[in-house]
């Protein structure tokens, strides 16, 4: 029965059913009939997909399901016609949510076994021990009084640590968003500070940017696609192909230098330029796979020109480099 839920035929059939459900009025009797049926199937899939596709242990899959089950109504409502089947849509959600769930669980386990001594924190693991500095003094300045630059640096400095509770991170990021009036700063947030993915938080993004909840959710999921192992393996495969391609380009370049005949040299030059163009395209593919989104996809979601996005991201990168150099 479990395999039945994951078959392509059943997936296509149920995709049509969910799309139909989302087009019906709230008080439509047909919608009310479908509601429990779709919620039940979604619950089953949110438990099965991590087990089958992400190799989670039973206890981890159970803990993940308990955490995500309260969001099932929002997950169903957010599904729209986008080329994805319903199973694929749920797989994308599970892909980054399970990653963050396991990462957070591991941090909690390490936090419980941490031993503080003087100004160092020692983390003990079964295979090794290591130390990292621990800052004793807290920031005296009120977060709500910080300007955008100070707040950005504060968030980055606390990113990934176990010393900032999850609810405090949500508060910090919400305040960061409340100061976000320019699209450049919004893109900066999405590219570099993906910390919270609750429906309420995505809704705050959509309100501030005056875009739909679905657009904000879709944009946010793009950032998390880099966590898929399949993407990284694909990028590695393309990198190896590009390396072999570079060997061909090097041989062509040497042949051009040593070829005495002018006509043959021109033919080799044309071939060299063609192969170099292919090589640069491969590098661009690798970049797109590793980042999980392109300037084009950003412009479509935000409804602004690609040129503006490219300019804004250039400004973001310069801003981040200026912070790193201090």
Side-chain-side CA neighbours of residue 310 (13 Å): 4
Quote the strand ranges of the chain, DSSP E: 115-117, 120-124, 129-133
Query: Which residues lie below 8 Å from residue 41, measured CB to CB, with a gap of 6+?
Result: 5, 14
Residue 57 lies in a domain: yes
Domain that holds residue 63: 2-103
Distance (Å, whole) CA 275 – CA 269? 10
Q: What is the pLDDT of residue 105?
A: 77
Residue 29 lies in a domain: yes
In a structure prediction context, what are the per-residue pLDDT tens digits for the chain, which is 326 residues long? 445 667 888 888 889 899 888 888 877 778 888 888 898 888 888 888 888 877 788 878 888 888 888 888 888 988 877 678 888 889 888 887 888 888 777 766 655 444 333 333 333 333 333 333 333 334 445 555 555 456 555 555 554 443 344 455 555 555 555 554 444 455 555 544 433 455 665 666 566 556 667 666 665 555 444 334 444 455 556 666 666 667 777 788 888 888 888 888 888 888 888 877 777 776 666 555 555 456 666 566 555 667 766 766 665 555 445 544 44
Q: Is the model's pTM score more than 0.85?
A: no
Residue 313 lies in a domain: no
Residue 21 lies in a domain: yes
Residue 108 lies in a domain: no
Residue 203 lies in a domain: no
Q: What is the pLDDT of residue 108?
A: 63
Q: How far is CA 70 from CA 12, 43, 59, 74, 215, in A?
A: 25, 10, 18, 9, 21
Residue 80 lies in a domain: yes
Q: What is the pLDDT of residue 119?
A: 33
Q: How far is CA 175 from CA 139, 154, 178, 201, 204, in A?
A: 16, 12, 5, 11, 11
Residue 121 bridge partners (DSSP): 116, 132
* Spacing of C-alpha 88 from chain mean position: 16
Side-chain-side CA neighbours of residue 152 (13 Å): 19
Q: What is the pLDDT of residue 132?
A: 34
Domain count within the chain: 1
Residue 304 lies in a domain: no
């Amino acid at each position: 029965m479990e395999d039945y839920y994951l078959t392509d035929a059943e997936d296509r059939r149920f995709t049509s059913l969910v799309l139909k459900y989302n087009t019906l009025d709230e008080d439509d009797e047909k919608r009310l009939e479908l509601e429990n049926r779709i919620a039940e199937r979604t619950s089953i899939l949110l438990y099965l997909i991590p087990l089958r596709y992400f190799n989670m242990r039973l206890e981890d899959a159970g803990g993940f399901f308990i955490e995500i089950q309260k969001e099932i109504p929002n997950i169903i409502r957010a599904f729209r016609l986008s080329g994805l089947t319903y199973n694929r849509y749920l797989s994308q959600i599970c892909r980054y949510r399970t990653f963050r769930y396991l990462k957070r669980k591991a941090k909690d386990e390490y936090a419980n076994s941490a031993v503080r001594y003087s100004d160092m924190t020692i983390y003990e693991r079964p295979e090794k021990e290591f130390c990292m500095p621990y800052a004793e003094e807290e920031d005296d300045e009120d977060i709500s009084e910080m300007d955008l630059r100070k707040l950005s640096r504060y968030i980055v400095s606390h990113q990934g640590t176990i010393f900032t509770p999850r609810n405090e991170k949500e508060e910090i990021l919400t305040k960061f968003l409340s100061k976000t009036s320019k699209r450049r700063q919004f893109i900066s947030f999405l590219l570099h500070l993906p910390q919270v993915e609750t429906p309420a938080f995505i809704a705050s993004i959509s309100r501030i940017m005056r875009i739909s909840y679905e657009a904000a959710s879709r944009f946010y999921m793009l950032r998390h696609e880099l966590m898929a192992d399949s993407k990284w393996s694909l990028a590695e495969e393309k990198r190896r192909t590009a390396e072999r391609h570079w060997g061909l380009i090097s041989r062509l370049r040497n042949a051009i230098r040593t070829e005495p005949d002018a006509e043959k040299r021109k033919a080799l030059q044309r071939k060299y330029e063609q192969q170099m163009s292919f090589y640069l395209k491969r590098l661009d593919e690798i970049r797109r796979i590793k980042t999980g989104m392109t300037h084009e996809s950003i412009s479509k979601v935000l409804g602004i020109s690609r040129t503006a996005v490219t300019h804004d991201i250039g400004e973001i990168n310069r801003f981040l480099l200026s912070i790193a150099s201090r």
